[in-house]
Structure 1
Amino acid sequence: MSERTVITEDGLRLHVSVRGRDDAPLTVLLSHCWTADESDWHYQVTDLLAAYGRDIRVITWDHRGHGRSDRASEAACTIPHLTRDLGQIVDTCAPEGPLVVAGHSVGGMALTAIPEERPDLMARVVGAMFVSTTSGELGKVTLGLPAVAGALLRDRLPFVLANRARMLSLSRREKFPTIERQVARRFLFGRPARSRDVALVVDQLVHTPPETMAGFFRDMMAHDRIGNLSAFDDIPTTVLVGTRDLLTPPEHAAKIARGIRGARLLVAPDAGHYLPFERRQLVSDELAALLDRALARLAKEAGEAAVRRGRHRAPAGG
């Protein structure tokens, strides 16, 4: 693994991890959840490298305002910024070759913005996975509560967390993550929930800057990119969601699947919003299926090219 720094169009430093050789035939890009970091995909990274070794290149990164990347102003915490950041990472770390892209939550929303923000990348995408995410209408989500109460809590909770980050020291929030723990257990996980996974998510929430909380929440509420989904038509695409996902419920996944010709929709019983943690095997297996399909296509194209070259070089005559 190599750790790299990629500079965004507005001068922020992004922490990027690249695993695999530079000349790998296929690159996998894994875009993480809001308030998380690149460890959102740590199970899948482990599984993919164990299965494919150096035959693929896997790229993960901390979004702007998350993890080890630079903090961003509230105005610069938007989905289009994430998508352009993704494009800058591709330009820097994987300038050539086919791509399989996967996004969890806001990471998946960033994928839906590729056709408008970086349309040049679409020709390189040979597989896509949308995990616990949406193409729009988050303003209708009620967190599994009655409509009025759910809408009120949905709109206030991110700002409660942001205000805690502003008013309380990091050390105090690390020692007493009372609200963060309640949020993780009540709204982010389904059943069963492993304590170590919940603890990691709580730690990520505690370390999320207030402008990241507020800025991305506002932009996600305005997110509407269902019209972009057809750009993924006939690209092998899998859409995953849990039945207990309260942030991006199953109907949001179904809308994505209906919007992409040929997409597969898989619904995980009892799982919540953190499918990469909660259903490790499912997410890893479905990613592997996309990779197998892409690698088989590449092998076929390479074989056909070799045949054409052989015919071109064959001497004339019998």
Structure 2
Amino acid sequence: MWREPADALRARGHSVLAVDQRGFGTTALGTADPSLDVVADDLARTLDDNGVDRAVLVGSSMGGYTAMAFLRRHPDRVAGLALLAARATADSPEAAARRHRFADLVQQEEPRRQLLAQTTPMLVGATTRATRPEVLARVLADVEAADPAALAWAQRAIAARPDSTDVLRTARVPALVIAGTEDELVAAPESRHVADTLPYGRLVTVPDAGHLPPLETPGAVTDALHAFLTEIGAPAW
């Protein structure tokens, strides 16, 4: 998902470490119970392995929730935050129940096909669906190719996350919130709440993007991140 912005940021002189979350890419899912704390600690070990003490964390959707968990568990290692398509609050009981239902169904072969066909289009905005069908096709192909157990684990981990408002309120680091104007999963007021909660937060809205701006509008995301990183004088990791 981050390949194009990551390559573009490297070309502009930033150091970028793009991480495979457990269960995806080349990283094994393992046997840990679903928890974003597990993913945050995975990230801490990855930074250690790469000789990185402090980093600017850039996370979209579940990556944003992982960044919040990392901030809670390893605050001294966060040099800055860029959060995309992620809300500060926990899931409502109804939203958590939907995630658990998804996790149950996605591991069953026949329901999985219908479930993914119904839910995947909501990950991108209306403009992407209408004018960039190849992006939606790529997202659908990626989701269909993913390990169902990893998809289920991820949904259960997100459902279990706590409210991060207090954690963000005490984050004395430079922060950027990027929101797609057509995000159907994280509403505009929720992105505004994240930006307003962060003491040094700023909101940038990206036109014609839904829930996956790094894939839908990589140029706009790259420009926003480059400006942010240049302003704070730090590389991205």
Query: TM exceeds 0.5?
Result: yes
After superposition, the C-alpha distances for 1:46-83 in whole angstroms (9 at most, x for unaligned) are 2112222xxx321012100112211233x533210111
Q: CA RMSD in A?
A: 2.6
CA distance in 2, matches of 1:101, 1:137: 20
- Would you tell me which structure has more strand in proportion to its own residues? 1
Q: Distance in 1 between matches of 2:15 and 2:181?
A: 32
Are 2:83 and 1:136 aligned? no
SS in 2 for 1:76: coil
Deviation at 1:247, TM superposition (A): 2.3
Partner of 1:83: 40
TM-score with structure 1 setting the length = 0.65
Q: Where in structure 2 are there 5+ consecutive unaligned residues?
A: none
Alignment of 1:1-318 (within 5 A): 40-52=1-13, 56-73=14-31, 75-96=32-53, 98-122=54-78, 125=79, 127-139=80-92, 156-164=101-109, 179-185=115-121, 187-193=122-128, 194-223=132-161, 224-233=163-172, 235-295=173-233
What's the CA shift for 1:153?
A: 5.8
Distance 1:115 1:291 in 2: 18
* Distance in 2 of aligned mates of 1:208 and 1:115: 28
CA distance in 2, matches of 1:153, 1:79: 18
Amino acid at match of 1:85: D
**CA distance in structure 2 between the aligned counterparts of 1:46 and 1:116, rounded to whole angstroms:** 29
CA contact (8 A) 1:189 1:271 kept: yes
The structure having more radius of gyration, on CA atoms, is 1
Per-residue Cα deviation, 1:71-129 (whole angstroms, up to 9, x for no partner): 233x5332101111111111110334x5221001111111111233223313xx1x321
Amino acid corresponding to residue 167 of structure 2 in structure 1: N
Q: Percent identity?
A: 25
Alpha carbons of structure 1 residues 89 and 195: separation in structure 2 relative to 1, 3 Å: same
The structure showing larger relative contact order (alpha-carbon pairs under 8 Å, at least 6 residues apart) is: 2
Q: Contact between 2:103 and 2:153, CA under 8 Å: does it hold in 1? A: no
TM-score normalised by length of structure 2: 0.85
Matched to 1:183, the amino acid is T
Distance 1:200 1:72, change over 3 A: farther
**Take 1:140 and 1:248, find their aligned partners in 2: how far apart are those partners?**
16
Distance, in Å, in 2 between the alignment partners of 1:153 and 1:81 is 22
Residue 152 of structure 1 and its aligned partner are, at CA, apart by 7.5
- In 2, the alpha carbon distance for the partners of 1:191 and 1:246 equals 9
- 2:50 maps to amino acid: C
